[in-house]
Structure 1
Amino acid sequence: MIQQFIELGQGYGDVYELCELIETNEKRFHNAFLIISNKDDKKFASLAVVFKPVGESKFMPIYICREGIPYDTDKPSKRIELFEQALERIGKKAIPMDVKHSSFYSEKELFYNHLVGILRMNHFIPPMQ
Protein backbone atom coordinates (compact mmCIF):
# COMPACT_ATOMS: atom_id res chain seq x y z
CA MET A 1 0.00 0.00 0.00
CA ILE A 2 1.40 3.37 -0.99
CA GLN A 3 0.34 6.18 1.31
CA GLN A 4 1.30 9.62 0.12
CA PHE A 5 0.58 13.13 1.33
CA ILE A 6 -0.90 15.55 -1.17
CA GLU A 7 -0.43 19.05 0.15
CA LEU A 8 -3.09 21.63 -0.44
CA GLY A 9 -2.53 25.26 0.53
CA GLN A 10 -3.25 26.96 3.83
CA GLY A 11 -6.03 29.39 2.99
CA TYR A 12 -9.80 29.30 3.13
CA GLY A 13 -10.08 28.13 -0.49
CA ASP A 14 -7.90 25.13 0.25
CA VAL A 15 -9.98 24.17 3.29
CA TYR A 16 -13.14 24.46 1.17
CA GLU A 17 -11.49 22.15 -1.38
CA LEU A 18 -10.63 19.66 1.38
CA CYS A 19 -14.23 19.79 2.65
CA GLU A 20 -15.53 19.18 -0.88
CA LEU A 21 -13.20 16.18 -1.20
CA ILE A 22 -14.64 14.81 2.05
CA GLU A 23 -18.24 15.16 0.90
CA THR A 24 -17.77 13.94 -2.67
CA ASN A 25 -15.61 10.97 -1.62
CA GLU A 26 -17.69 9.83 1.35
CA LYS A 27 -17.55 6.19 0.20
CA ARG A 28 -13.73 6.34 0.06
CA PHE A 29 -13.31 8.07 3.43
CA HIS A 30 -10.87 6.27 5.73
CA ASN A 31 -9.84 8.74 8.50
CA ALA A 32 -9.42 12.43 9.25
CA PHE A 33 -6.93 14.16 11.52
CA LEU A 34 -6.55 17.45 13.31
CA ILE A 35 -2.78 17.64 13.70
CA ILE A 36 -1.44 20.16 16.21
CA SER A 37 2.18 21.33 16.31
CA ASN A 38 4.16 23.98 18.20
CA LYS A 39 6.56 26.56 16.83
CA ASP A 40 7.94 29.51 18.78
CA ASP A 41 5.46 28.93 21.62
CA LYS A 42 2.51 29.11 19.21
CA LYS A 43 0.25 26.25 18.18
CA PHE A 44 -0.67 25.53 14.57
CA ALA A 45 -3.18 23.10 13.11
CA SER A 46 -2.99 20.90 10.05
CA LEU A 47 -6.13 19.33 8.60
CA ALA A 48 -5.75 15.95 6.92
CA VAL A 49 -8.01 13.35 5.34
CA VAL A 50 -7.13 9.83 4.20
CA PHE A 51 -9.09 8.14 1.43
CA LYS A 52 -9.22 4.46 0.52
CA PRO A 53 -7.66 3.40 -2.79
CA VAL A 54 -9.76 3.45 -5.95
CA GLY A 55 -10.59 0.02 -7.35
CA GLU A 56 -7.57 -2.28 -7.43
CA SER A 57 -5.16 0.60 -6.92
CA LYS A 58 -2.65 0.40 -4.06
CA PHE A 59 -2.51 4.21 -3.67
CA MET A 60 -3.99 5.76 -0.52
CA PRO A 61 -3.97 9.58 -0.75
CA ILE A 62 -3.66 11.74 2.37
CA TYR A 63 -4.77 15.29 1.61
CA ILE A 64 -3.41 17.90 4.00
CA CYS A 65 -3.58 21.62 4.67
CA ARG A 66 -0.28 21.89 6.56
CA GLU A 67 0.25 24.13 9.59
CA GLY A 68 -1.41 27.22 8.19
CA ILE A 69 -4.06 27.60 10.87
CA PRO A 70 -3.32 29.21 14.23
CA TYR A 71 -4.70 26.89 16.91
CA ASP A 72 -6.36 28.24 20.03
CA THR A 73 -8.70 26.03 22.08
CA ASP A 74 -10.44 29.11 23.51
CA LYS A 75 -11.21 30.60 20.09
CA PRO A 76 -11.56 27.92 17.38
CA SER A 77 -10.62 28.89 13.84
CA LYS A 78 -13.34 29.20 11.20
CA ARG A 79 -11.28 26.88 8.96
CA ILE A 80 -11.27 24.16 11.64
CA GLU A 81 -15.02 24.64 12.14
CA LEU A 82 -15.62 24.20 8.38
CA PHE A 83 -13.53 21.00 8.42
CA GLU A 84 -15.37 19.58 11.43
CA GLN A 85 -18.77 20.47 9.91
CA ALA A 86 -17.88 18.66 6.66
CA LEU A 87 -16.91 15.58 8.67
CA GLU A 88 -20.08 15.84 10.75
CA ARG A 89 -22.20 15.83 7.57
CA ILE A 90 -20.84 12.36 6.73
CA GLY A 91 -21.03 11.17 10.34
CA LYS A 92 -17.30 11.25 11.10
CA LYS A 93 -14.90 13.08 13.43
CA ALA A 94 -11.26 14.08 13.16
CA ILE A 95 -8.71 12.31 15.32
CA PRO A 96 -6.61 14.88 17.21
CA MET A 97 -2.83 14.39 17.23
CA ASP A 98 0.14 16.34 18.59
CA VAL A 99 3.32 16.15 16.51
CA LYS A 100 6.53 18.11 16.04
CA HIS A 101 6.30 21.08 13.69
CA SER A 102 7.51 20.39 10.14
CA SER A 103 10.25 23.02 10.58
CA PHE A 104 11.89 20.59 13.04
CA TYR A 105 12.81 18.39 10.04
CA SER A 106 15.49 19.30 7.54
CA GLU A 107 13.16 18.35 4.66
CA LYS A 108 9.40 18.38 4.32
CA GLU A 109 9.54 14.81 2.98
CA LEU A 110 11.06 13.61 6.28
CA PHE A 111 8.15 15.21 8.14
CA TYR A 112 5.65 13.36 5.96
CA ASN A 113 7.54 10.06 6.32
CA HIS A 114 7.44 10.50 10.10
CA LEU A 115 3.68 11.17 9.99
CA VAL A 116 3.06 8.08 7.86
CA GLY A 117 4.99 6.05 10.43
CA ILE A 118 2.90 7.45 13.29
CA LEU A 119 -0.34 6.76 11.41
CA ARG A 120 0.73 3.17 10.62
CA MET A 121 1.98 2.49 14.14
CA ASN A 122 -1.36 3.60 15.61
CA HIS A 123 -3.31 1.58 13.00
CA PHE A 124 -4.93 4.72 11.56
CA ILE A 125 -3.79 3.62 8.09
CA PRO A 126 -2.90 0.09 6.88
CA PRO A 127 0.67 -1.18 7.24
CA MET A 128 3.12 -1.30 4.37
CA GLN A 129 2.55 -4.44 2.29
Structure 2
Amino acid sequence: MIQQFIELGQGYGDVYELCELIKTNEARFHHAFIFTSSKNDHTYASLAVALKPVGESKFMPIYICREGIPYNIEKRAKRIELFEEAVTALGRKANILEIKHSSIFSEEKLFYQYLIGILRLNHYIPPMY
Protein backbone atom coordinates (compact mmCIF):
# COMPACT_ATOMS: atom_id res chain seq x y z
CA MET A 1 0.00 0.00 0.00
CA ILE A 2 1.39 3.37 -1.00
CA GLN A 3 0.34 6.27 1.19
CA GLN A 4 1.09 9.81 0.12
CA PHE A 5 0.31 13.19 1.62
CA ILE A 6 -1.25 15.73 -0.74
CA GLU A 7 -0.94 19.22 0.68
CA LEU A 8 -3.86 21.51 -0.05
CA GLY A 9 -2.36 24.56 1.67
CA GLN A 10 -1.84 26.13 5.06
CA GLY A 11 -5.42 25.77 6.29
CA TYR A 12 -7.07 29.02 5.27
CA GLY A 13 -9.64 28.74 2.46
CA ASP A 14 -8.44 25.25 1.61
CA VAL A 15 -10.12 23.87 4.77
CA TYR A 16 -13.40 24.24 2.86
CA GLU A 17 -11.93 22.10 0.07
CA LEU A 18 -10.86 19.49 2.61
CA CYS A 19 -14.37 19.42 4.10
CA GLU A 20 -15.84 19.01 0.62
CA LEU A 21 -13.48 16.11 -0.05
CA ILE A 22 -14.80 14.46 3.12
CA LYS A 23 -18.44 14.97 2.07
CA THR A 24 -18.04 13.83 -1.53
CA ASN A 25 -15.87 10.82 -0.66
CA GLU A 26 -17.99 9.39 2.15
CA ALA A 27 -17.62 5.82 0.83
CA ARG A 28 -13.82 6.19 0.68
CA PHE A 29 -13.40 7.85 4.10
CA HIS A 30 -10.81 6.02 6.21
CA HIS A 31 -9.69 8.33 9.06
CA ALA A 32 -9.50 12.03 9.90
CA PHE A 33 -6.67 13.62 11.87
CA ILE A 34 -5.89 16.79 13.75
CA PHE A 35 -2.12 16.96 14.13
CA THR A 36 -0.91 19.48 16.71
CA SER A 37 2.63 20.82 16.81
CA SER A 38 4.47 23.61 18.62
CA LYS A 39 6.87 26.24 17.37
CA ASN A 40 8.08 29.33 19.26
CA ASP A 41 5.66 28.74 22.16
CA HIS A 42 2.64 28.60 19.83
CA THR A 43 0.65 25.50 18.96
CA TYR A 44 -0.64 24.93 15.44
CA ALA A 45 -3.03 22.41 13.94
CA SER A 46 -2.81 20.48 10.71
CA LEU A 47 -6.04 18.92 9.46
CA ALA A 48 -5.91 15.75 7.39
CA VAL A 49 -8.13 13.04 5.97
CA ALA A 50 -7.05 9.62 4.68
CA LEU A 51 -9.16 8.08 1.92
CA LYS A 52 -9.35 4.42 0.97
CA PRO A 53 -7.83 3.43 -2.39
CA VAL A 54 -10.07 3.44 -5.47
CA GLY A 55 -10.94 0.01 -6.87
CA GLU A 56 -7.91 -2.25 -7.17
CA SER A 57 -5.50 0.65 -6.69
CA LYS A 58 -2.86 0.41 -3.96
CA PHE A 59 -2.68 4.20 -3.52
CA MET A 60 -4.08 5.82 -0.34
CA PRO A 61 -4.18 9.63 -0.51
CA ILE A 62 -3.94 11.64 2.69
CA TYR A 63 -5.06 15.23 2.09
CA ILE A 64 -3.64 17.77 4.53
CA CYS A 65 -3.85 21.46 5.40
CA ARG A 66 -0.51 21.96 7.15
CA GLU A 67 0.18 24.07 10.25
CA GLY A 68 -1.77 27.20 9.37
CA ILE A 69 -4.38 27.11 12.13
CA PRO A 70 -3.64 28.28 15.68
CA TYR A 71 -4.64 25.53 18.12
CA ASN A 72 -6.15 26.14 21.53
CA ILE A 73 -7.96 23.37 23.41
CA GLU A 74 -10.27 25.78 25.25
CA LYS A 75 -11.22 27.91 22.25
CA ARG A 76 -11.44 26.00 18.98
CA ALA A 77 -10.77 27.88 15.77
CA LYS A 78 -13.75 28.06 13.41
CA ARG A 79 -11.84 26.14 10.73
CA ILE A 80 -11.26 23.23 13.14
CA GLU A 81 -14.95 23.27 14.05
CA LEU A 82 -15.92 23.09 10.36
CA PHE A 83 -13.58 20.14 9.86
CA GLU A 84 -14.93 18.31 12.93
CA GLU A 85 -18.52 18.93 11.78
CA ALA A 86 -17.77 17.39 8.36
CA VAL A 87 -16.24 14.32 10.03
CA THR A 88 -19.05 14.05 12.60
CA ALA A 89 -21.64 14.17 9.79
CA LEU A 90 -20.21 10.77 8.70
CA GLY A 91 -20.62 9.41 12.22
CA ARG A 92 -16.86 9.47 12.84
CA LYS A 93 -14.44 11.42 14.99
CA ALA A 94 -11.07 13.00 14.16
CA ASN A 95 -8.01 11.51 15.84
CA ILE A 96 -5.89 14.13 17.61
CA LEU A 97 -2.15 13.45 17.59
CA GLU A 98 0.70 15.59 18.88
CA ILE A 99 3.64 15.61 16.46
CA LYS A 100 6.89 17.45 15.79
CA HIS A 101 6.64 20.70 13.83
CA SER A 102 7.63 20.41 10.18
CA SER A 103 10.24 23.17 10.57
CA ILE A 104 12.61 20.80 12.40
CA PHE A 105 12.95 18.63 9.29
CA SER A 106 15.42 19.63 6.61
CA GLU A 107 13.00 18.62 3.85
CA GLU A 108 9.22 18.53 3.60
CA LYS A 109 9.45 14.98 2.26
CA LEU A 110 11.11 13.83 5.50
CA PHE A 111 8.30 15.39 7.53
CA TYR A 112 5.69 13.46 5.57
CA GLN A 113 7.67 10.20 5.90
CA TYR A 114 7.73 10.82 9.66
CA LEU A 115 3.94 11.26 9.70
CA ILE A 116 3.36 8.11 7.64
CA GLY A 117 5.53 6.20 10.12
CA ILE A 118 3.46 7.48 13.05
CA LEU A 119 0.19 6.59 11.33
CA ARG A 120 1.40 3.10 10.42
CA LEU A 121 2.78 2.39 13.91
CA ASN A 122 -0.56 3.38 15.46
CA HIS A 123 -2.49 1.29 12.90
CA TYR A 124 -4.37 4.29 11.48
CA ILE A 125 -3.22 3.35 7.99
CA PRO A 126 -2.27 -0.07 6.62
CA PRO A 127 1.36 -1.22 6.50
CA MET A 128 3.35 -1.12 3.32
CA TYR A 129 3.05 -4.39 1.40
Q: Tell me the TM-score normalized by structure 2.
A: 0.98
SS, match of residue 80 in structure 1: helix
Measure, in 2, the Cα distance between the counterparts of 1:52 and 1:118: 18
- What residue is the counterpart of 2:10 in the other structure? 10
Aligned to 1:53: 53
Residue 100 of structure 2 corresponds to which residue in structure 1?
Answer: 100
Distance 1:113 1:18 in 2: 21
Deviation at residue 115 of structure 1 after TM alignment: 0.3
Report the AA paired with residue 93 of structure 1. K
SS of the equivalent of 1:65 reads: strand
**What 5-or-longer segments of structure 1 have no aligned partner?**
none
Q: CA deviation at 1:11?
A: 4.0
Measured after TM superposition, the shift of residue 74 of structure 1 is 1.8
SS in structure 2 opposite 1:124?
coil
Residue identity over aligned pairs, in percent, reads 70
Matching of residue 65 in structure 1 with residue 56 in structure 2:
no
3-state SS of 1:64 partner: strand
Cα distance per residue 1:52-90 (max 9 Å; x no partner): 000000100000000000001121100000000001111
Counterpart of 2:29, as a letter, is: F
Between the aligned partners of 1:32 and 1:21, the Cα distance in structure 2 is: 11
* TM-score after normalising by structure 1: 0.98
Distance in 2, matches of 1:10 and 1:79, equals 12
Partner of 1:121: 121
Deviation of 1:106 after TM superposition, in Å, equals 0.4
Residue segments in structure 2 that go unaligned for 5+ positions in a row: none
In structure 1, the partner of 2:29 is 29
Q: CA RMSD in A?
A: 0.7
SS of residue matched to 1:74: coil
Aligned counterparts of 1:5 and 1:97: Cα–Cα separation in 2: 16
Kept in 1, the 8 Å contact 2:11–2:47? The answer is: no
Residue 10 of structure 1: CA displacement? Answer: 2.1
Residue 79 of structure 2 aligns with an amino acid whose one-letter code is R
Pairs aligned (count): 129
